[in-house]
Structure 1
Amino acid sequence: MKLKLLAIISSIILSASAFASLEETKVLKIISYNVYNGMKLDESEGKQKFIDWAKIQDADIIAWQEMNFFTREKLETFAASYGHKYAVLLKESPDDAAFFPVAITSKYPIVNVNKVVDNLWHGALFADIGDYHFVVTHMNPFWTAKRIDEMNLIIDSIKYSRDPNGKWIIAGDLNSFSPADKEAYDKSHLLNDIKEKEKNRPILENLVNGKLSYTVQQNLLDAGFIDALKLKNREFIATAPTKVFYDQASTPLRYDYIYVSPSLEKDVIDVMVLKDEFTDNYSDHYPVQMKINNK
């Protein structure tokens, strides 16, 4: 009942704000969310439970991962239901449960879209909203070496773009570890968990010389990008597991990130991992939310 009431209130707010332009918006709310295999835990028609949650959040932009079974038309209808008139899906294969496309939806026009699938496991969606450049991705879950190659491709794509020093936002499930979390991982059972996983599944090569690797995100940091959550929170905050089954590790970890370029560092207002009754139960990952001053 409480969730429905909040959804109604949010709908009223959405209606009032639907006509605001990007230039008139003082603060942008951006969410990145891995929704677990096409939102399969929401069995309602049209994923109404996710829609109700998104209405309550009233984000300006949402970067989605694991949008299995969505088509362009389904995504556009889904996004419109929570007030986002614009939506882009990286790729579609309605019958493939292992396709794992990413997507981005927005209150404001999404332009200059570049869908990159070559040399990337799940792909990366490059798109502009105003003068913000977004990269939405979901990195290789099996091999650290491949993730390093994928991240280097993304870094170079930005480096050699027309606006390398612009307002860049990289969001998604990076399936890798931040060096900022090393102290927390050293105190946990994560290394042993991964060793056990690799023993049982020889395809996995996520350790390097028997140790956790931080190279993927160290390369991103070395390129000047800023881990937005750590910018505002010194403590370790896990994005998985949630309260539903999670098959990657039995100890808390952080796989979900929003990175920003140096030009946005001073504009970041707040960053948090959204943990509530809904996100506890409808995916294996928690979403990350960032608010920035829109200048």
Structure 2
Amino acid sequence: MNRFFLILALLALLQPNVYAQNQSLKVISYNIWNGFDWGKDLEREKAMVHWLKEQDADIIGFQELNAFSPEKLAQMALEWGHPYSLLLKEDGYPIGITSKTPLELKGRLLGGFWHGMLHAKTRDIDFLVVHLSPQDWQFRRSEAEMVSTYIENVLVKNQQEKFMVLGDFNAHSPFDAGFDLAHPETLRRNREGDSLRFEEKGAEAFQTLRNGSFDYSVMSRFLSLPLIDVVQNHTEENRKSSFPTPLITQELSPEKQAGYRQRIDYILVSPFFEFQCTHAEVVNTGTPDRLSDHYPVVASFAWDE
């Protein structure tokens, strides 16, 4: 009998450690497309709230919270179980973050950015939410340099090992060079857009391509910190597309739809999380087909705080 109770006592002592090892952290990055048409598309808004509630994520970083106020984001976040939220700004194309756990605002950066950068901290993890320029590769490269320098000076030099950068980078990864070759319609459409802007404004026109080709230097700057691209490590080549969704490709022919895919949305993590990532994907099938022009990026991590 004494041996039996001794075993029970040992199991009770071990149980919290077992529980801690089995805990997880789920993170989502999502560009929600013009804040549900500046708040007018209530059907799509309701559907996304329902989907996010089903996902039960711990942290969600948002881009394009157009026409949102801090109060609106806070109220909506409660619907998917997040009592904490922060909004970068209220004009233009705002960035935001919501969380199950208390958020500490660490910084709002706007100067020199197309849309800005939001820095928040929760659970001893620093989260940087970004939305880089959709129109000009040189502007994106400048933004990448500012974000990377910020990480080096504010986080790395202060020995903060736990951080993530998530958002719509509007840039292609060098890992996806083969993926880009397999989807030529994306390059064609970008060349067409650049050409039209050049005809209108000449040498001062924004150009999303560098000399007519995809520029990989933006993502290379982040990867060289190093930051880890978790989707690259956990997702098959043909499942990485994050833009566009059928909401904006319905009028294209099947051939053009098949060729018009790209990955511009990412969750990048510090080396601390590289081997703690248990799952990462772009959710580019099912319900998200109808929720935005971008697909969400989702990643889960083993987390024993």
Give the TM-score normalised by structure 1: 0.85
Change (3 A) 1:147 1:129: same
Bigger CA drift: 65-74 or 201-210? 201-210
Q: Specify the alignment match of 2:123 in structure 1.
A: 130
Across the two proteins, how many residue pairs are aligned to each other?
A: 267
| In 2: Cα distance, 1:275 partner to 1:220 partner | 24
Identity %: 33
The amino acid of 1:133's aligned partner reads: D
| In 2: Cα distance, 1:47 partner to 1:187 partner | 33
| In 1: Cα distance, 2:161 partner to 2:21 partner | 20
Equivalence map 1:158-237=2 (5 Å): 158-162=151-155, 163-189=158-184, 190-202=186-198, 203-236=205-238, 237=240
Q: Specify the alignment match of 1:13 in structure 2.
A: none
Unpaired runs of 5+ residues, structure 1, are 1-22, 94-98
Q: Which has the higher helix share?
A: 2
Q: Specify the alignment match of 2:81 in structure 1.
A: 83
| In 2: Cα distance, 1:219 partner to 1:117 partner | 20
After TM superposition, give the deviation of residue 187 of structure 1 in Å: 3.1
After TM superposition, give the deviation of residue 231 of structure 1 in Å: 1.3
Equivalence map 1:1-295=2 (5 Å): 26-40=23-37, 43-44=41-42, 47-93=45-91, 99-162=92-155, 163-189=158-184, 190-202=186-198, 203-236=205-238, 237-245=240-248, 251-295=260-304
| In 2: Cα distance, 1:253 partner to 1:226 partner | 19
Unpaired runs of 5+ residues, structure 2, are 1-19, 199-204
Q: Deviations over 1:176-220 (max 9, x none)?
A: 000000012123313222111111223331121222110000111
Structure 1 ranges of 4+ moved more than 4 A = none
Change (3 A) 1:174 1:219: same
Query: How big is the alpha-carbon RMSD for the aligned residues of Structure 1 and Structure 2?
Result: 2.2
| In 2: Cα distance, 1:181 partner to 1:126 partner | 27
The amino acid of 1:169's aligned partner reads: M
